A and B are shown apart, each in its own frame.
Chain A
Amino acid sequence: MATLHFLANPARFRRFSQRVLPGLSAVTALALAAGLYLALVESPPDYQQGETVRIMFVHVPSAWLAMAGYGLLAALGASLLVWRHPLAALMARGTAPVGAVFAAVCLLTGSLWGRPMWGTYWVWDARLTSMLLLFFLYLGHIALSRAYDDPERGDRAAAILALVGAINLPVIKFSVDWWNTLHQPASVMKLGGPSIHPAILTPLMVMAAALLLLFVVLVLLRTETEIDRRRLEAAELAA
């Protein structure tokens, strides 16, 4: 908690980010290389899906991170509205485009998996539709945070959207249990543990770790830029 308070200061966060980003980027590149090797070379074809299972190594982590990113956005929104943390708004501005890209990659790769497996690119199934809604919530957050001349008003409006939109997260997660969906039920994050063979689960988890690192690198990079942009705006106003 003390660390969070320490990093809530934008100038301190900027120094911290500048210090950790080079090393973290190198670790991310290595993790991505290892993940891609396992996903594309080492892992066997699935007994039902065949080679198409390789799409899952990008699709599933993208879905997890798009959802986790929105959870972070909601937490930042609460931090801004309740405690007025100076960093929360800037980090939310940095996080939203990253989450939107992860959600888009999830939707597009899912669609490319669906065509050979289900015979269609898209169905208005509860899981797919709630995931599409998540993508639109990200776009709404980006648009709303930039919609006002006063950036603080935009940040507060976007924070409210982030909090309200968080209702969609359990809907995405449990949509496959609550409704009859074409999308298969959970096979990794479920009670009783994963039901996937280790030969498929290992590359999936390595890719998930690599993409998590990439997500963190992108959020740090964009938050740092937002801090600098706010400094620039302050300097322009003072001039």
Chain B
Amino acid sequence: MSHAPFIIGSYAVALLGFGGLLVASLLARRRVRRELGERGLERRR
């Protein structure tokens, strides 16, 4: 049995999990800041 697919799969899971969370967190911050900006509570960056 080749172990390569399991190793590649593991790193893909880590990339998707951590990368996905990072992207989702950045998008959420940008969305909230934009809404704050629209209400004049935050300077636009």
Contacts and interface: CB of A to CB of B under 8 A. Distances in A.
Interface in A189-239: 211, 214, 217-218, 221-222, 224-225, 228-229, 231-232, 235
Interface residues of A, number: 34
Interface string B18-45: 1011100110110011011001011000
A62 B15 CA distance: 12
Contact of A50 (B3, B10, B25): B3
Given A51-B4, A109-B13, A113-B6, A228 B29 contact: yes
A156 to B, nearest CB: 23
Interface residues of B, number: 26
B24 to A, nearest CB: 9
B14 A222 contact: no
B7 A225 contact: no
Interface stretch (A97-105, A127-135, A178-186): A97-105
Contacts of B42: 228
Nearest to B38: A232
A215 B39 CA distance: 31
B17 A105 contact: yes
Given A231-B41, A235-B41, 15 more contacts: A52-B3, A55-B10, A58-B11, A101-B17, A101-B20, A101-B21, A102-B17, A105-B14, A108-B10, A108-B13, A112-B10, A116-B6, A224-B29, A232-B39, A235-B39
Interface of B: 1, 3-4, 6-7, 9-11, 13-14, 17-18, 20-22, 25-26, 28-29, 32-33, 35-36, 39, 41-42
29 contacts: A50-B3, A51-B3, A52-B7, A55-B7, A55-B10, A58-B10, A105-B13, A105-B17, A105-B18, A108-B10, A109-B13, A116-B1, A116-B3, A214-B22, A221-B25, A221-B26, A221-B29, A222-B25, A225-B28, A225-B29, A228-B36, A228-B42, A229-B32, A231-B41, A232-B32, A232-B41, A235-B36, A235-B39, A235-B41
